[in-house]
Amino acid sequence: MSKSRESTAPAAANDRPRRNFLVEFGALAAGAVGALVSLGAGLAVLLDPLIRKQQVPGKYRQASGGGQEGFVRVATLDAVPDDGVPRRFPVLADQLDAWNFAPNQPIGAVFLRREAGSSEVQVLHSTCPHAGCAVTFKAADAEQPQGFYHCPCHNSAFALSGEKLDRPGKENPSPRPLDALEVDTQRLQDTGEVWIKFLDFYTGRPDMKPKI
Ligand code: FES
């Protein structure tokens, strides 16, 4: 009897650390599973817009539907007087990323111009191709009776067509004419609205390389 008590007591003592280890391991495993579940749920919420691709709200989708892809509406034809004088218009566009939709955000500006009796609209980017300052339109003077575009930063000047102007005694550092933008002519004809393909281009180079 005393012999068997002597043999079981050390065995029980040896089992205790193993039991403690199993209990601790179980608790750790349960904690890890819980943490993984929480992490998974958090990631699902975070990535949900990316997975299902956020949609433009319906009323804005309809407002920009139809016409050519990538064009934005800048004005009605009636808002561009046919007097040959360029008018500056802001370009607004809906901005959408994975989490947010912001309608009608300013993304740039253009000059619109049309000749007397014409329904064609000329569109020029208002950014100077030299270094990116904003170009203004200057009223007629002795040298340019029809007026001209001028950049106040380093004196670049451009004719109404957008071509570079060499004004006497004034260097023109622009490497290219003002950037002309495409109009959706079909839509202009059908709806009387001016929709343009608005792009920004790299400055300081002779070619029009679009920024993507
Ligand atoms: S940025 Fe227009 S002339 Fe330099």
How far is ligand 1, taken at its centre, from the CA of residue 152, in Å? Answer: 7
Determine which of 35-39, 77-81, 167-171, 200-204 has the lowest per-residue pLDDT on average.
Answer: 35-39
Q: Are residues 12 and 64 in the same domain?
A: no
The reported pLDDT for the residue numbered 159 is 97
Select the more confidently predicted residue: 116 or 10: 116
Confidence category of residue 210, pLDDT binned at 50, 70, 90:
very high
How far is ligand 1, taken at its centre, from the CA of residue 122, in Å? Answer: 22
The reported pLDDT for the residue numbered 1 is 46
How far is ligand 1, taken at its centre, from the CA of residue 203, in Å? Answer: 9
15 Cβ neighbours under 8 A, 6+ residues apart: none
Q: Are residues 64 and 46 in the same domain?
A: no
The reported pLDDT for the residue numbered 101 is 87
How far is ligand 1, taken at its centre, from the CA of residue 23, in Å? Answer: 74
Q: How many domains, in total, are found in the chain?
A: 2
Tell me, yes or no, whether 110 lies in a domain: yes
Q: Which of 107, 94, 93, 91 is nearest to 56 (CA)?
A: 94
Sequence length of the chain is 212
Q: Are residues 32 and 97 in the same domain?
A: no
Return the best residue to mutate from 148, 154, 178 for the ligand 1 pocket (most ligand atoms within 8 A of CB). Answer: 154
The reported pLDDT for the residue numbered 63 is 46
What is the domain-level CATH number for residue 106?
A: 2.102.10.10
Q: Are residues 177 and 192 in the same domain?
A: yes
Q: Which pLDDT tens digit goes with each residue over 71-109?
A: 999 999 999 999 999 999 999 988 887 778 889 899 999
How much helix, strand and coil, in percent to the nearest 5, is found in the chain? 30, 25, 45
% of residues, the chain, pLDDT over 90: 56
Q: What is the domain extent for residue 118?
A: 58-196
Q: How far is the CA of 49 from the CAs of 57, 64, 73, in angstroms?
A: 14, 22, 27
- The mean per-residue pLDDT over the stretch 41-62 comes to 60
Q: Are residues 47 and 80 in the same domain?
A: no
Q: Are residues 64 and 138 in the same domain?
A: yes
Mean confidence (pLDDT) of the chain: 85
Q: Are residues 97 and 40 in the same domain?
A: no
Going by alpha carbons, the residue nearest to atom 3 of ligand 1 is 154
